Amino acid sequence: MKSKKLSEVIIENFKRNGFVLSEPDVLLDSEYIIERSGEKFRSSMLTFDREDGKTMCLRPDLTVASCISFLQKKSSSKIYYSGQAYRRSGNNSANFINDQLGIEILGSKNQIQDDFKIISTILSSAKKIKRKKILIKVGDISLFKSLINALDMPDRWKLRLIRHFWRPRYFEELLKRLEKNTDIDAVNFDADKKRFYEMKKIDQAKIVAGRSISEILKRFDKKIKDPRSFADGKKIVKIIKSFLKINCKLSKLDERLLDFAKKNNLKENIFKDFKSILNLRKLNQDIYYIANFGRDVEYYTGIVFEVFSGKKEIARGGRYDDLLKSLGAKKNIPAVGAAINLKNI
């Protein structure tokens, strides 16, 4: 089938599953995205300056663009989109235009039901256009967070590991520091205290990189008050690395997690909130759970997945319950979505 025909088949399936067309803006305020979501997109954005001096960019991500549209225009909460995202990559030969067809449930009211709806709709679309064997890989960022919060270590380390889980290289550096029990030195500690008192004089409601000044100061306060030494880092790192090696069929996941908890003397119920993944068994599909998965997009907070046809990744998505707040919502708005990469089908 030609590209246009493929798109028509997918869109028709989206409509049958209750998704309504949304057309997010192509041009976005680049400083707004950077201020609200951190530096994540800065190096990849295609920007230009308007005559009035304002810096604009071509939308680097259709999920982010759809969320902005949802907040500004109060659009439908169950949407599909068809369009292009524009991003630079580290590969000079790569095309910076990505043609995508995606679906989002913004303001998700039932996590288990809505996660399943997104994945099942993407899967049924994939099966309509691909004959090769379909495979799904899933992870869950919230399970990693549950593990970290259950471990006996200072809050500052928990915050670091959770915050930087999406940056694998830096995360590995943090594990090495934790393993050797090497924290920040006295010079950096004094610099933190100085910055802490400087920020107390700033407007506490001001947003910086998606967080208010008051939120940042709370973390600073914990960091300053926590003891600087921690003797059990080697043991903690061993547990974390063991968890990240879990790779199994979905049918074996509950058994593997229970075995992991017992071997590491953890409470058996620390992974109680993974019903959304287990619910995917109803798909009657080859699904593999990989703990060390879904770390390349900062805004995911829960289930993450990729759909493969043969060796090609044709779709990916996940849950992102914090993103809408970082883009300007007054509180967290649960959301989940996914997109099909047309160039791979």
Which pLDDT score is estimated for 136?
93
Q: What is each CA distance from 34 to 221, 268, 324, in whole angstroms?
A: 25, 40, 14
Which pLDDT score is estimated for 33?
78
Q: What DSSP line would sit under 55-90, residue for residue?
A: EEEE-S-HHHHHHHHHHHH---SEEEEEEEEE---S
Percentage of residues in the chain with pLDDT exceeding 70?
A: 88
Domains of the chain: 1-131+330-345 (3.30.930.10), 133-167+237-309 (no CATH)
- Predicted confidence (pLDDT) at residue 76 exceeds the cutoff of 80: no
Could you tell me the pLDDT band of residue 260, with boundaries at 50, 70 and 90? very high
Mean of pLDDT values over 76-84: 90
pTM over 0.95, yes/no: no
| Residue pLDDT, tens place only, 96-137 | 888 889 999 999 889 999 999 999 999 999 888 766 788 999
| Residue pLDDT, tens place only, 293-345 | 877 777 889 999 999 988 888 899 999 999 899 888 888 999 999 999 888 77
- Predicted confidence (pLDDT) at residue 90 exceeds the cutoff of 70: no
**Measured distance between the N- and C-terminal CA atoms of the chain, rounded to whole angstroms:** 10
Mean of pLDDT values over 37-42: 63
